[in-house]
Amino acid sequence: MRWRSVLPRLGYELPPDLTPPSANGPLTPSVPLELIRQSVSAREYWDIPEPVAEQYRRYRPTPLWRATAFERAIGAEVPVYVKYEGGNISGSHKLNTALAQAYYYQRAGVRELVTGTGAGQWGTALAAACAAFGLSCTVFMVGGSLRDKPYRGSLMRLLGAQVHASPSGLTEIGHQGGGNSLALAIGEAVEYAKAGAGRAFCIGSGENYSILHQSVIGQEAIEQLSTLDAEVDTVIGCVGAGSNFGGIALPFFSGDDQGPTLLAAESSSTPKLTRGVYAYDLTDATGTGPMEAMYTIGSQYSIPASHSAGLRFHGAAKLLSAMRHRGQIAATAVGQRAALEAGRAFAGSELIVPAPESGHALAAAASVVTGRDAKHRGGRGVLVCVSGHGLLDLAAYDQLLAGQLTDLAADPEAVELATAALTRVDNTLVEVN
């Protein structure tokens, strides 16, 4: 198995990053050169370093099966195939890139990796990867999520990480407050990493290299579907910044119109791909990182709290945003009640509790295979990635069972205000749902 990049198949170059107004001069990349090469090179296949491959073999390949019990539970008209990424210690797909990044940072002489995390899956994955490669790890986790999922913090500490609720008192931006958002947690991690020798900030989702590392998911799925003599017309994954969806879907992208529909399922509270604008925006709350061309609802938008914390990022990865802009991927928004109801149906039928984020993908799949989604048809079948388990998210399911869940959709006026000053990439926007 090798990593497979979609960049050579796009047929165009991604828009360049811009220096943010707050920066003094050009930005100096702090990531290892090999990760930079993986982000910009036109090479399609990349060898996986043996130390990383050795770690992968502990839990890969991950299972793929036809979810016939789920099909019966939801009244599916076509087959549903599930690719499950929740069987490793992090409980999610995030470990695929965490191991790779920890390896490259360790080789570059870094002693401590610092990151921000929403639901805690990425923080857990990085803590595990740092333990595997002998690095220290510090995690800033969105405070509301840490309160809702305290055992995520316990697991990260068990793996040797230092865990701080964001906003914290450890950084200047944390002292300023600003609510509970992944952008703020990332901003704190950026500031904290810059303040210490031997530290480096590490991000798990939006960068091209992290999406590249996740390509093992889709490549395995293609082989496993072939073994089952199965074909699918739609491939679905949930989207925060984009590594899970990119991992399952982009290996199916051929550069023409012959492949399956690639459908990104996002949260209706953070609908960047379906209700956002294609513009240059900040990637974190410090404003010190590069401005990237992305579909965004605005880095200053106050995202309402929800149990789909891993999807609560204001923008989509620049790679996925460019593909969305050119109509190469599709998108749909799902409310958290529908997501958790789909998760409940999956748990009761397939006997696996999915993470709330994965529930969004399952809800989108249910709409497609039952014919409720008139725009996207299942045809021969649908492949959906269940990116992680929900065993540390049971408080969300408790609220569902108690009838206490509410859906807080994005406020159109607030989104318009948060994006008004952003520089659009151009004046032609992809039609949204």
Is 431 a residue whose pLDDT tops 50? no
> What's the distance, CA 353 to chain centroid?
19
Kind and range of the H or E element at 189?
helix 182-194
Q: What is the rounded distance in angstroms from the CA atom of residue 172 to the CA atom of residue 409? A: 31
DSSP single-letter state for residue 7: G
What are φ and ψ of residue 4, in 5° steps?
A: -125, 125
Of the segments 15-19, 49-53, 176-180, 182-186, which one has the largest average pLDDT value? 49-53
Pairing of strands 234-238, 45-46: unpaired
Is 433 a residue whose pLDDT tops 50? no
Give, in words, the CATH class of 57-91+209-424.
alpha beta
More confident residue, 181 or 286: 181
Kind and range of the H or E element at 68?
helix 68-74
Confidence class of residue 23 from pLDDT cuts 50, 70 and 90?
low
Q: What is the rounded distance in angstroms from the CA atom of residue 172 to the CA atom of residue 21? A: 19
Mean pLDDT of 317-325: 97
Token pair of 107 as six digits: 């080789």
Is 212 a residue whose pLDDT tops 70? yes
CATH 3.40.50.1100: which residues of the chain? 57-91+209-424, 95-204
Digit-coded pLDDT (tens) for 258-273: 899 999 999 999 999 9
Token pair of 132 as six digits: 């595997």
Nearest of 197, 230, 290, 198 to residue 79 by alpha carbon: 230
SS3 51: helix
Query: For residues 309 and 145, is the Cβ–Cβ distance under 8 A?
Result: yes
The structure tokens 């799902």 sit at 334
Percent of the chain at pLDDT exceeding 70: 94
Cα torsion for 405, 411, 412, 417, to the nearest 10°? -150
DSSP single-letter state for residue 49: P
Q: What angle do CA 164, 166, 167 make, to 5 degrees?
A: 125
- Residue 81 half-sphere exposure toward CB, CA atoms < 13 A: 26
Q: Is the dihedral of CA 263, 265, 268, 271 positive or negative?
A: negative
Q: What is the rounded distance in angstroms from the CA atom of residue 9 to the CA atom of residue 189? A: 34
Give, in words, the CATH class of 95-204.
alpha beta
Nearest of 252, 273, 275, 247 to residue 262 by alpha carbon: 252
Query: For residues 352 and 84, is the Cβ–Cβ distance under 8 A?
Result: yes
